[in-house]
Amino acid sequence: MSIDRREFLKLAGMGTAVLVLGPGNLVGAAGGRMNEDFMFVQMSDPHWGFTDTKVNPDFTGTLKKAIAAINSMKSQPDFIMFTGDLTHNTDDPKDRRKRMSEFREIIKDLKVKNIRLMPGEHDASLDKGEIFKEIFGETHYSFQHKGVNFIVLDNVSDPATVIGDEQLQWFGSELKKFDKEDRLVVFTHRPLFDLLPQWDWWTRDGSKAIELLMPYKNVTVLYGHIHQEHHHMTSHIQHHAANGLMYPLPAPNSVPKKAPVAWDPAAPYKNLGYRSVDAKVSNAALVLNEYPIKAAQERVVKITARRFEYSPREIRLKKGEPVVFELTTLDRMHGFNSTDFGIRADIKPGETTRVRLVPDKTGTFTFFCDIYCGEGHEEMSGQLIVE
């Protein structure tokens, strides 16, 4: 199978990229020929603990939406690889440990239990990966799956933005186990090449890792860190960045200063997502498919206000189900207020007011009018019953 660079970039722009791994059958590290196709998922930069609502008002829900989407796949992946920044940076070691423990509990909801993890600088640079190793295990390692050889490199635990001589020696030793024709997939958090050093989009000694990889003919590097798709070639070595799960970052050099892209209410979850990687062993290729995070389908509930009453007065909801209240009035201005959920709005004549809610608790809760509308105003209320 062959594909030229222009066709590759065309496919990549469509959300599907074909990574050519070379001709012939795959040979595993143990030397046994294997030809069974498989699929894995790459997830990157969930930044659990991030709380800026201007960047992502669904900061506690986005990762869970991705997990639900993967769980709904008709064909489940063989394994899932998280390429770093599992948690958002905090100076407090107790908070760092807490966030990592929470992340570990959340990903237990994945149907696939073969989960591979590696740190990002937010997880590891402040303590050289100690808490990460305590909770998740080693920060660099290798494994083999159905004839494809995978190597995980840690280019974040050293705050100097380096892999380091000791790990590079280990990397070189691992590579010597493989034939020059073997298929290699390398996972890193930061890019190994100098994408944009002033934005920390590089690895200071990444060129040494690339030099070690050069003799191997079939190499793909999958990384995160830059929170967007990006495709690059170093000679015959392919590098592919993945979208993040918490917030996108601007394209290289597109703005004077790097900063998270603000949330767009008209296009929620824009440029957030994960990817599946299909190992087409029989064709000696990897196929990347990019999947966006999607907003959950919102239920619409219409509520009409008139002096001293709402219709309907009783509304049944489900915990965690997004709902939009469409509020109108038949006479004058009224209010809509639910202190239990921290929502309120003015309902103006001739207008439809929309209020969004994702109920996070069960029970019976009151909503009421908080704009005086005459005798009987105090009785103008209704109930939200969340099951």
Domain end (from 263, 292, 321): 292
So what's the pLDDT on residue 22? Answer: 41
So what's the pLDDT on residue 319? Answer: 87
Range of the domain at 363: 299-386
CA distance 290 to 113: 22
So what's the pLDDT on residue 322? Answer: 84
Helix, coil or strand: residue 221: strand
Domain end (from 248, 275, 292): 292
Q: Is 194 found in the same domain as 75?
A: yes
Domain end (from 292, 313, 344): 292
Q: Is 284 found in the same domain as 307?
A: no
- Encode pLDDT of 261-319 as tens digits: 999 988 889 999 999 999 876 666 788 999 998 776 678 999 999 999 999 999 999 98
pTM of the model: 0.74
Q: Is 162 found in the same domain as 71?
A: yes
Q: Is 365 found in the same domain as 325?
A: yes
Cβ atoms within 10 Å of 54's Cβ, excluding its own: 9
So what's the pLDDT on residue 256? Answer: 94
Instruction: Give the range among 42-46, 166-170, 213-217, 376-380 with minimum mean pLDDT.
Output: 376-380
So what's the pLDDT on residue 34? Answer: 53
- Encode pLDDT of 224-262 as tens digits: 999 999 999 999 999 999 999 999 999 999 999 999 999
Q: Is 112 found in the same domain as 254?
A: yes
* Closest of 107, 378, 66, 112 to residue 243, by C-alpha: 66
Residue 333 has pLDDT above 50, yes or no: yes
Q: What value does the mean pLDDT take over residues 169-178?
A: 98
Residue 377 has pLDDT above 60, yes or no: yes
pLDDT-derived band at 320 (thresholds 50, 70, 90) equals confident
Q: Is 127 found in the same domain as 92?
A: yes
Torsion-angle region of residue 15: left (phi > 0), alpha (psi -120 to 50) or beta?
left
Q: Are 286 and 18 in contact (CB under 8 A)?
A: yes
Q: What is the DSSP letter of 379?
A: G
CA distance 115 to 212: 27
Q: Is 328 found in the same domain as 267?
A: no
Question: Which residues, 6 or more positions from 113, have their beta carbon under 8 angstroms from its beta carbon?
Answer: none
**Which H/E stretch holds residue 265?**
none
Count the domains in the chain.
2
Q: Is 322 found in the same domain as 284?
A: no
Q: Is 242 found in the same domain as 189?
A: yes
Q: Is 275 found in the same domain as 306?
A: no
User: Quick one: tokens of 339?
Assistant: 């202190």
CA distance 109 to 76: 14
pLDDT-derived band at 349 (thresholds 50, 70, 90) equals very high
CATH code of 348's domain: 2.60.40.420
Q: Is 263 found in the same domain as 377?
A: no
So what's the pLDDT on residue 356? Answer: 87
Q: Are 186 and 151 in contact (CB under 8 A)?
A: yes
Residue 1 has pLDDT above 60, yes or no: no
- Helix, strand, coil percentages (3-state) for the chain, rounded to 5, are 20, 35, 50
Question: Which residues, 6 or more positions from 167, have their beta carbon under 8 angstroms from its beta carbon?
Answer: 140, 153, 154
Question: Which residues, 6 or more positions from 266, have their beta carbon under 8 angstroms from its beta carbon?
Answer: none
CA distance 353 to 129: 49
Query: What's the chain's average pLDDT?
Result: 89
Q: Is 272 found in the same domain as 357?
A: no
Q: Residue 199: how many CA atoms within 13 Å on its side-chain side?
A: 22
* Closest of 175, 171, 192, 149 to residue 21, by C-alpha: 149
- Encode pLDDT of 23-48 as tens digits: 333 333 333 345 688 999 999 999 99
Go through the chain and tell me how many residues it has.
Answer: 387
